[in-house]
Structure 1
Amino acid sequence: MTTEKTTAEAGTDGGIEVRPVAGHIGAEITGVDLAAGPDAAQVAAIRAAVLRWKVVFFRGQRLDHAGHVAFARRFGEPVVPPRRGKASPPDVPEIETTADRLELGGRFGMPHDEWLRRRRHTLHRGWHCDHGARVDPPAATILRAETVPPYGGDTTWANLAAAYAGLSAPLRAFVDGLRAEHRLGVGYQPRPGEDAYVRHLLDHQVATVHPLVRVHPETGERVLFVNGYYVEQIAGLSRPESQAILDLLLDQVTRPEYTVRFRWEPGSVAFWDNRATVHLAPSDNAHLDHPRTMHRVMLAGEVPVGVDGTPSEALLGSEPGRW
């Protein structure tokens, strides 16, 4: 499925226009009012665009919480996270709201910028798919901007299918048969003494063995299922071997040609395939005196399956379909 056309790499389908914004990932969609509810043809076109371009962007939308959830339901079943931040609307359990410093500053007994540094002490640590340590990570995420700073606060996505295809044939054959343990909180640097965030991680631990290369359930593409935030170690390799291979793969995934960066505006919506992308939330706005309030809905996903047909194996803290 694709909405890619020969004319300027853009196309119109279901009355909407899909205009790619980067060579391997990302397209902007116009001509649809998400609050009014897209019709069946528009839903099909949006779904095809998400599968083709991995993340699509809408601007100038006027969604409220109910409209956000209703739009998400056209594409799958929204999950209801058991734990949400204090900024999340109490009467709409499908929506998670983050308000940056307003939400996270001081939550774990440290300033937000220190907490961020401890989570992102290497260049790769911030890259992640949503809830990748679960045995059934969400299939997709729909993120809506309410308030954004006048500058800074951009989000970046990377195309995991393009990254896999860009590997040499011998390396693809090697990683096809590997599996890796994904664990919540991997790589976080504890604070000396009592660390409330470490206690939080231990109290809510989640771990899964996923194929390092998963087969996308809709497109059939092979996807390099790796990220810097959750992957603990490649199974069967020594830790130094594992780290060297992971660094190589993460360098591949985050090559600029496989990424797209989005400048948020109030009313912007990003809809991405969480099975075929990783993303990097911004770290350039914590020092700015401007709020950044975002609302997220995630769609239930499948248990990943590797090239050999073997599914992921839950180790701790998650069961398929149960949040």
Structure 2
Amino acid sequence: MPSSVPETITAPSAAAEAGVVVTPLSGFTGALIDGVDLSAPLSRAQVAAIRAALHQWKVVFFRGQNLDHAAQIAFGAQFGAVTPGHPYEGDSAPAGFPQIHTVSPAAYDHRYGTRYRKRQSPNGPGWHADVTPLINPPSHSILRAERVPAYGGDTQFTNVGAVYAGLSPAVQALADELRAEHRFGSTTSAERSTEKIGDLVRNNPLATIHPVVRVHPETGEKVLYVNPSFTREIVGLSPRESRHLLDLLFEEIARPEYSVRFKWEPGSVAFWDNRAALHLAPRDFEHVEGDRILHRITLVGDVPVGPDGVASESISGDYFGAA
């Protein structure tokens, strides 16, 4: 008789047999995984257990991992093809590792410009999934900590599948039918900027119309697929209607019961499903002493599809494939 458990999901007993210990960290979002050395090749059972935890908790965390750039890339490649570090990476990737996107104040200043970084926050924008203005945003992101301050600089994650499930049926039905424009530099101030960010946005604009509700390609779960950092407007609505509806959805995304907060330590790794989780960069870093240096890779994603079966439509920008 065929198993009732999908191939990509491992039952808890199978995870235990693989030596993988999954400890949930909140009611909806995040789990700590022990019993795995990410610097070594994983068994099929370990890969399946981690993937199952991602499906349920959207983000998983590991402590005490000894990874360099090459080992981080090798770990990610066991779950999918690894992309270049960022569509706007330019010359800021570490030498020999175009897949690595370094997250630090210095890297952000080099990439986008000093004044822009200080307006946004030391390490990026508000709630977002990575690079959703692409036609195929990354499926997963993997972020490891090299150096962190003694306190401050935490990262929050939220489960947008749970956010969608928490909406009233009437709002769900409305959202199911809508589509929204995602654009890098979603504010006109970025487009007008005289710093690097302005040149990047004007010379290589990234913009796509995505469904407001996305059907997860592996689990079939409906997830709310908008975010305050990259979603500019809902198409087909007046500007006022779009603004009010997006504000409502963004307020739901920010509700604390859906989120988890992760404190970084050197050797910590966060691995999240970029299709079903948003994250929030720290905004408390500028007055904290000590460097915060993290390194991210992303995995090639698919084109989002809404409940009506209609896929996203690119406005500007190419498919983002493997490095």
> Under a length normalisation based on structure 2, what TM-score does the superposition of the two structures give?
0.90
Pick closer, same or farther for the CA change 1:188–1:157 going to 2, 3 Å. farther
Aligned partner (choices 94, 99, 108) of residue 99 of structure 2:
94
- Report the residue type matching 1:77 in the other structure: A
* Residues 133, 230 of structure 2: 8 Å contact kept: yes
Distance in 2 (alpha carbons) for counterparts of 1:112 and 1:234: 26
Question: SS of 1:143's equivalent?
Answer: strand
CA distance change for structure 1 residues 31 and 180 in 2, over 3 Å: closer, same or farther? same
The whole-number CA distance in structure 1 between the counterparts of 2:176 and 2:314 is: 20
Residue 12 of structure 1 aligns to a residue in which SS? helix
Q: Which amino acid letter does the alignment assign opposite residue 291 of structure 1?
A: D
- Flag as ranges the 4+ runs of structure 1 deviating above 4 A: 1-6, 106-109, 117-120, 190-193
RMSD of Structure 2 on Structure 1 (CA): 2.5
| Alpha-carbon offset, residue 118 of structure 1 | 11
Query: Matches of 1:118 and 1:289 in 2, distance apart?
Result: 13
Q: Write out per-residue CA displacement over residues 23-63 of structure 1, whole angstroms, 9 at most, x where no aligned residue.
A: 00100000111112221111110011011100000000001
| CA deviations over 1:269-313 (Å, ceiling 9, x no partner) | 000000001111111112323111111110000000000000000
Question: Aligned partners of 1:70 and 1:110: how far apart in 2?
Answer: 33
Contact 2:117 2:123 in 1 (8 A): no
In the other structure, the counterpart of 1:140 is 140
What does residue range 26-41 of structure 1 map to in structure 2 within 5 Å?
A: 26-41=30-45
Cα distance in 2 between the residues matched to 1:181 and 1:87: 28
Alignment match, 1:76: 80
Q: Is the 8 A contact 1:216 1:222 kept in 2?
A: yes
1:57 pairs with one of 54, 61, 73: 61
Percent identity of paired positions between Structure 1 and Structure 2: 47
C-alpha distance in structure 2 between counterparts of 1:205 and 1:221, whole Å: 30
Matches within 5 A, 1:253-268: 253-268=253-268
Q: CA deviation at 1:204?
A: 2.3
Measured after TM superposition, the shift of residue 197 of structure 1 is 2.6
Q: Contact (CA 8 Å) 1:23, 1:257: kept in 2 or not?
A: yes
Matched pairs, number: 314
* 8 Å Cα contact 1:213-1:223 kept in structure 2: yes
Query: Over residues 135-167 of structure 1, what are the superposed CA-to-partner deviations in whole Å (9 max), with x where a residue is unaligned?
Result: 100000010000011100000111010000000
Per the TM alignment, residue 109 of structure 1 is displaced from its structure 2 partner at its CA by: 5.0
2:118 is aligned to 114
Tell which deviates more after alignment, 201-210 or 186-195.
Answer: 186-195
Q: Between Structure 1 and Structure 2, which shows a larger proportion of helix residues?
A: 2
Residue 321 of structure 1 and its aligned partner are, at CA, apart by 3.6
TM-score w.r.t. the length of structure 1 is: 0.90
Q: Distance in 1 between matches of 2:270 and 2:17?
A: 19
Give the secondary-structure state (helix, strand or coil) at the position aligned to 1:182. Answer: strand
Q: Which residue number in structure 1 is paired with residue 207 of structure 2?
A: 207
- C-alpha contact 1:106 1:112 (8 A) present in aligned 2: no
Look up the match of 2:29: 25
Give the secondary-structure state (helix, strand or coil) at the position aligned to 1:290: coil
* Cα distance, 1:94 vs structure 2: 1.3
The residue matched to 2:285 in structure 1 has which SS? coil
Secondary structure of 2:243 counterpart: helix
Shift of 1:175: 0.7
Q: Residue deviations 1:176-227, cap 9 Å, x none?
A: 0000111111126459984443233212211100000010000100010010
**How far 1:16 moved relative to its partner?**
1.1
Q: How big is the shift at 1:105? A: 3.7
Which moved further from structure 2: 84-93 or 169-178? 84-93
Q: 1:4 to 1:298 in 2, by over 3 A?
A: same
Kindly state the Cα deviation for residue 4 of structure 1 after the two structures are TM-superposed: 7.7
Structure 2 residue runs without a partner (length 5+) = 1-5
Where in structure 2 are the equivalents of 1:146-185 lying within 5 Å? Answer: 146-185=146-185
Q: Take 1:15 and 1:126, find their aligned partners in 2: how far apart are those partners?
A: 36
